[in-house]
């Protein structure tokens, strides 16, 4: 692995007239886009910001003509260990990375998964992280479930992380998935609008519940199989398990979903019963893949589009389903 930057960076700024923000931490976050407001506040608290040569307080309000000097120490090493795990990098520049996450890979280290995660792999493969919040770590912009494969955005610095996260929140990033569901949608295009929150009985599950967070998913049928559909699902919002919960709610759970669609193939009757059992056998996990991302580059504004084909496990199941459906 290449060396990380280890020199303290020094910035010298003159306050414009009139200042563009109130408190010093907010002003610094505007003037230095690579610093978040919380990071600027931490530097002020650590005595690394001076105004006219005097150590500043966070409550200080910049005045026109003042000279602000900032010392930005190198990002501190994270306590997460870099691991040489296989990782498919679709795109990388100095601001962010797009990875094609395999199924079975947990995103963040947590209880029961202290190692072997996407973050461990990123720390090994990405050589020029400038860190998030003063820590040498990747900035996960959005997550995928452990058993969902496909494209993920990862920021390499605070400025990119803030811009990409804001774009995601304002629905400027388009995320499209390939998903197989049991049964057939009533129409080729369906929009599902149902608020999602914790299930009343099992708090580990999500459900469409009154008072839940707004959640909207657009579904388009791409292929009609014997007793299942292959869909393109586009997220308008990004709630936990959103596609899985919405499809289960409208009576068409994701093929292979052990939480929201377990045993659904057993309900198929007639000539579809054997076909459904065989498809279920061939799908090793939930048939859900993040296949497409569209966004504007956080630094240049360039419009970008990334795609990832179905991985071999789902591609093989889909090929069987087409052939066995007569299509």
- Residues serving a catalytic function are 145
Cis preceding linkage at 18, omega within 30: yes
Dihedral, CA atoms, 214, 119, 10, 48, nearest 10 degrees?
A: 70
For residue 95, give every residue at least 6 positions away whose Cβ sits within 8 Å of its Cβ, in sequence order, or none. 155, 156, 157, 159, 160, 297, 298, 299
In degrees, rounded to 5, the angle at the alpha carbon of residue 77 between the alpha carbons of residues 56 and 167 is 75
Contacts by residues 214-217 (CB-CB < 8 Å, ≥ 24 positions apart): 215/239, 215/242, 215/245, 215/246, 216/191, 216/192, 217/191, 217/192, 217/242, 217/243, 217/246
In angstroms, rounded to a whole number, what is the distance separating the alpha carbons of residues 324 and 316?
12
For residue 229, the cross-strand partners are: 181, 224
Tell me the longest C-alpha to C-alpha distance in the chain. Answer: 83
213 DSSP 8-state letter: B
For the beta carbon of residue 10, count every other beta carbon within 10 angstroms: 10
In angstroms, rounded to a whole number, what is the distance separating the alpha carbons of residues 265 and 254?
11
The alpha carbons of the chain give a radius of gyration, in whole angstroms, of: 24
The tokens for 304 are 């970008």
For residue 305, the cross-strand partners are: 294
């Amino acid at each position: 692995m290449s060396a990380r930057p280890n020199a303290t960076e020094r910035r010298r700024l003159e306050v414009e007239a009139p200042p563009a923000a109130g408190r010093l931490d907010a002003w610094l976050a505007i003037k230095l886009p690579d610093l978040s407001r919380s990071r600027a506040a931490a530097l002020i608290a650590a005595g690394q910001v001076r105004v006219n040569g005097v150590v500043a307080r966070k409550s200080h309000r910049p005045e026109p003509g003042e000279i602000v000097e900032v010392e930005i120490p190198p990002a501190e090493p994270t306590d997460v260990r870099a691991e040489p795990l296989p990782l498919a990098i679709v795109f990388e520049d100095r601001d962010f990375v797009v990875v094609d996450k395999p199924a079975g890979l947990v995103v963040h280290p947590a209880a029961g998964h202290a190692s072997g995660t996407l973050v461990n792999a990123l720390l090994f493969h990405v050589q020029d992280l400038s860190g998030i919040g003063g820590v040498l770590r990747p900035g996960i912009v959005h997550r995928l479930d452990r058993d969902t494969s496909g494209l993920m955005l990862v920021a390499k610095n605070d400025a990119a992380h803030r811009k990409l996260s804001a774009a995601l929140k304002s629905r400027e990033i388009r995320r499209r998935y390939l998903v197989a569901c049991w049964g057939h949608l009533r129409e080729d295009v369906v929009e599902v609008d149902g608020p999602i929150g914790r299930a009343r009985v099992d708090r580990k599950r999500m459900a469409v519940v009154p008072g839940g967070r707004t959640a909207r998913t657009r579904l388009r049928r791409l292929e009609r199989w014997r007793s299942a559909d292959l869909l393109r699902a586009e997220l308008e919002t990004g709630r936990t398990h959103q596609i899985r919960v919405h499809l289960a709610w409208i009576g068409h759970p994701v093929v292979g979903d052990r939480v929201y669609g377990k045993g659904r193939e057993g309900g198929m009757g007639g000539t579809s019963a054997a076909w459904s059992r065989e498809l279920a056998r061939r799908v090793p996990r939930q048939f859900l893949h993040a296949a497409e991302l569209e966004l504007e580059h956080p630094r240049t504004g360039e419009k970008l589009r990334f795609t990832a084909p179905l991985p071999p496990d789902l591609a093989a199941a889909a090929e069987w389903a087409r052939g066995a459906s007569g299509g």
